[in-house]
Amino acid sequence: MTDPVLKTLLLPFSTGKLDWPKDKPVLFLRARADTALGDFAPGGLICVQSFRSHADVLEKAGLRVAPSLPEDDARFPLVLVLPPRQREEARALLAEALSRTADGGIVIAAQANTEGAKTGESDLKALAGNVESLSKNKCRVFWANADETRRDPKLLNDWLSLDTPRPIVNGRFMSRPGVFAWDRIDPGTALLAKQLPDTLSGHAADLGAGIGVLSVLLLARCPHVASLDLYEAEARALDLARENLRHTQEDGGPKLGFFWQDVTKGLSSGPYDVIVMNPPFHESRASRADIGQAFIREAAKALKPGGSLYMVANRQLPYEATIKEHFTKSDVLADEAGYKVIVATKGKRTR
3-state SS, one letter per residue, for 160-176:
HHHHCCEEECCCCEEEC
Instruction: Decide: helix, strand or coil at residue 125.
Output: helix
Domain with CATH 3.40.50.150 in the chain: 4-163, 166-345
- Rounded to whole angstroms, the Cα distance separating 345 from 331 reads 9
Q: Return the pLDDT at 283.
A: 64
The reply to whether the predicted model has a pTM over 0.85 is yes
Instruction: Decide: helix, strand or coil at residue 50.
Output: coil
Q: Return the pLDDT at 284.
A: 56
Contact 198, 222 (CB under 8 A): yes
- Rounded to whole angstroms, the Cα distance separating 319 from 228 reads 25
Considering only the top CATH level, what class is 4-163?
Answer: alpha beta
How confident is the chain (351 residues) per 10-residue block, as mean pLDDT?
86 93 91 76 81 93 88 91 95 97 96 95 96 96 95 95 95 95 95 97 98 97 97 97 93 92 94 96 69 95 97 91 95 94 85 44
Q: Return the pLDDT at 342.
A: 96
Cα three-residue angle 57-62-232, rounded to 5 degrees:
35
Considering only the top CATH level, what class is 166-345?
Answer: alpha beta
Q: Return the pLDDT at 87.
A: 94
Contact 31, 82 (CB under 8 A): yes
- Bridge partner list, 106: 78, 145
Q: 289 — phi, psi (to 5°)? A: -65, -25
Q: Return the pLDDT at 282.
A: 59
Q: Return the pLDDT at 351.
A: 44
